[in-house]
Chains A and B, each alone.
Chain A
Amino acid sequence: MEKNQQQQKICYVNTGPGQKPGVSKFFKKDFLFKFILFFSGFLVFLLVLSIFVSLILNSVPSLKEFGLKFFVSKTWDPVFEQFGALPFITGTLLTSFLAILITIPFSLAISIYLAEFTKQGFYPGFLKNSIDLLAGVPSVVYGFFGIFVIVPIIRYLQIKLHIEPYGVGIFTASIILSIMIIPFSSSLGREIIEMVPAEIKEAAYSLGSTRFEVIKYVILPYARSGITAGILLALGRAIGETMAVTMVIGNSNMMPKSIFSPSNTMASVIANEFTEAVTSIHLSSLIEIGVVLFLVTTMISITGKIIIKKFAVHQ
């Protein structure tokens, strides 16, 4: 009997984190600590949920009025109170995917260079710091850079190509976006490439491959899922980016005719029109666009995580 109790006691002490509260003051402290941690986490969940719910609630008038037509209608006319989001959905998709296309070669090159070639020395350090700095530049500053540098260049190009020389437009916004997302895709890519086991790289070298061949046949296939996920995360950022895009996209509510047309993304139309939306239907339509934006970015980040999990190379 006594032995049994002793055993029980030992078990009790060993259970650790799963301990029931109120047994001793130590466990009480432990419980309080655990509760604080849990609560902080739960707060984040509540915040996300309440953002989503408030967006939904505020977009009810527009949801009722337009229903699913909201997503396929090409007219956005605040004067006649006709609201359709298709031009902005198109604008967002075009700018973001174009930005990704432009950024992929650069960020891939940067991540391979930093992870595989030189790790120490002046230039790699300088490069790393510059990329970090790029991530820290406020987006309104990117907007200025776009207006004063990229827009004139694009306008010059358009004149040469005999297109209407707006300067601003989808292409300009894509270029700015592609610069802004380089830090995200390249730093994740670098980390993933650094995680490729030295053993399999050595195996490849021992078979007489050159560095390029090792990168092409061993490192990139191994890191593929991580690189894809990094690009998706960057895409999520590109879709939501507001200020810089608003400054260079040209604020046009028409369906874009080409990649040089002035347009609006979902984020930029909200930023452009929110302050002047006087009717409730206009406001709630803008908020509904916010809902779409929220859903799209969530979906992209979930897809990114699934890709990392599903296609990770099993050792």
Chain B
Amino acid sequence: MENEVLKISNFSAGFGQCAILRNINFSVFQNRVTAIMGPSGCGKTTMIRCINRMHELSPAAYYSGEILLHGQNIFSMDPIIVRRRIGMVFQRPNPFPTMSIYDNVISGFILNGMKLKKEQKDQIVVNSLKKVGLWEEVKDGIYRRGTFLSGGQQQRLCIARALAMDPDVILLDEPTSSLDPKSTLMIEQLLEELKQTTTIVIVTHNTAQAARIADYVAFLYLGELIEFGPAKKIFTAPENKKTEEYLTGKFS
């Protein structure tokens, strides 16, 4: 039996007059990679931004329905707490340019004004960097600015930053779309390892990527959830004709 971490039910969202998501229902299971895929403009990014309540930071944003995190509605929780428990990695690597690599990793604690002991900090930094395979590459220059790293390294630094907070779920919004194939592969392998300890939701418009890493797939089209299920089933025997057309490249 799969352990349900997130349950999204009857969820709709949008900006002002413009509805982007309509009546979405699916679940995210523990230690699994759930991929949200679909063509551009289908609402993937809005969906993932709703899960850690980043969506409502935009002006005129609205939402309705429920998202349950371990059975608790996130919209009745403090958004600050929600965002600490649900980490996020963005489309383009965005380490803090004013901070060193070290400070970037523990930036979640710095930003929240949490005071940690030096040993605690060191431990978190080393562990997080080791988890994302960046430790060997940066250990000699850990007090250098994070922006001197390559794009792929920066993105792994951003994942380490999210991991440092020990979140229940990590959301990744097309994390490899601005990276080269080699860095992409590295991040995909990394996600495989990370799902042992955490739960991952990834947005991708790349069906091949979804096929490589996802355990569950949610297919969105024009703001509606067309199909949700185990990745094997979706990729081999999709129930919906639209899903099949998308997977076979009839539209994108």
**Selected contact of B112 from candidates A197, A202, A213, CB within 8 Å:** A213
The distance from the CB of A195 to the nearest CB of chain B, in whole angstroms, is 12
Q: Are B94 and A199 interface neighbours, CB within 8 A? A: yes
Query: In the complex, what residue of chain B is closest to A219 when comparing beta carbons?
Result: B98
Can you name 7 A-B pairs with beta carbons within 8 Å?
A203-B94, A205-B54, A205-B57, A207-B107, A208-B80, A208-B108, A313-B97
Q: Are B111 and A214 interface neighbours, CB within 8 A? A: yes
Q: Per-residue CB proximity of B227-243 to A under 8 Å, as 1/0?
A: 00000000000000000
Contacts of B96 in A (CB 8 A): 200, 203-204, 218
**Selected contact of A206 from candidates B54, B81, B98, B113, CB within 8 Å:** B54
Contacts of A199 in B (CB 8 A): 90, 92, 94
Q: Are A222 and B97 interface neighbours, CB within 8 A? A: yes
**Selected contact of B83 from candidates A200, A208, A217, A218, CB within 8 Å:** A208
- Residue A315 at the chain B interface, CB threshold 8 Å: yes
Q: Are A315 and B147 interface neighbours, CB within 8 A? A: yes
- Residue B165 at the chain A interface, CB threshold 8 Å: yes
Given A207-B161, A208-B81: A218 in contact with B98 (beta carbons within 8 A): yes
| A contacts with B, residue count (CB < 8 A) | 21
- Residue B87 at the chain A interface, CB threshold 8 Å: yes
Q: Are A208 and B112 interface neighbours, CB within 8 A? A: yes
Q: Are A200 and B94 interface neighbours, CB within 8 A? A: yes
A207 to B107, CA, bound (A): 8
Given A202-B90, A206-B88, A207-B107: A315 in contact with B97 (beta carbons within 8 A): yes
Which A residues have a C-beta under 8 Å from some C-beta of B? 197, 199-200, 202-210, 213-214, 217-218, 221-222, 313-315
- Residue B129 at the chain A interface, CB threshold 8 Å: no
**Selected contact of A207 from candidates B98, B99, B108, B147, CB within 8 Å:** B108
Contacts of B97 in A (CB 8 A): 200, 222, 313-315
Contacts of B205 in A (CB 8 A): none
Q: Are A314 and B147 interface neighbours, CB within 8 A? A: yes
- Residue B52 at the chain A interface, CB threshold 8 Å: yes
A210 to B111, CA, bound (A): 8
Query: In the complex, what residue of chain A is closest to B93 when comparing beta carbons?
Result: A199
- Residue B110 at the chain A interface, CB threshold 8 Å: yes
The distance from the CB of B94 to the nearest CB of chain A, in whole angstroms, is 4
| B contacts with A, residue count (CB < 8 A) | 30
A207 to B81, CA, bound (A): 9
A230 to B70, CA, bound (A): 49
Q: Are B87 and A206 interface neighbours, CB within 8 A? A: yes
- Residue B121 at the chain A interface, CB threshold 8 Å: no
Which B residues have a C-beta under 8 Å from some C-beta of A? 52, 54, 57, 80-84, 87-88, 90, 92, 94-99, 107-108, 110-113, 145, 147, 158, 161-162, 165
**Selected contact of B111 from candidates A202, A207, A314, CB within 8 Å:** A207
Contacts of B88 in A (CB 8 A): 206
Most-contacted residue by chain A among B81, B83, B96, B147 (CB, 10 A):
B96
| Beyond A202-B57, A204-B107, 6 extra complex contacts between A and B, CB < 8 Å | A199-B90, A204-B96, A207-B87, A217-B111, A218-B96, A221-B98
A227 to B54, CA, bound (A): 28
A218 to B98, CA, bound (A): 8
Given A213-B112, A314-B147, A315-B147: A207 in contact with B84 (beta carbons within 8 A): yes
A208 to B158, CA, bound (A): 14
A222 to B111, CA, bound (A): 14
Given A203-B158, A222-B97: A208 in contact with B111 (beta carbons within 8 A): yes
Contacts of A214 in B (CB 8 A): 111
Contacts of B83 in A (CB 8 A): 205-208
The distance from the CB of A15 to the nearest CB of chain B, in whole angstroms, is 36
Contacts of A313 in B (CB 8 A): 97-98
Contacts of A202 in B (CB 8 A): 54, 57, 90, 94
The distance from the CB of A215 to the nearest CB of chain B, in whole angstroms, is 11
Q: Are A222 and B94 interface neighbours, CB within 8 A? A: no
Query: In the complex, what residue of chain A is closest to B104 when comparing beta carbons?
Result: A203
Q: Are B113 and A213 interface neighbours, CB within 8 A? A: yes
The distance from the CB of A206 to the nearest CB of chain B, in whole angstroms, is 4
Contacts of B112 in A (CB 8 A): 207-209, 213
A153 to B55, CA, bound (A): 50
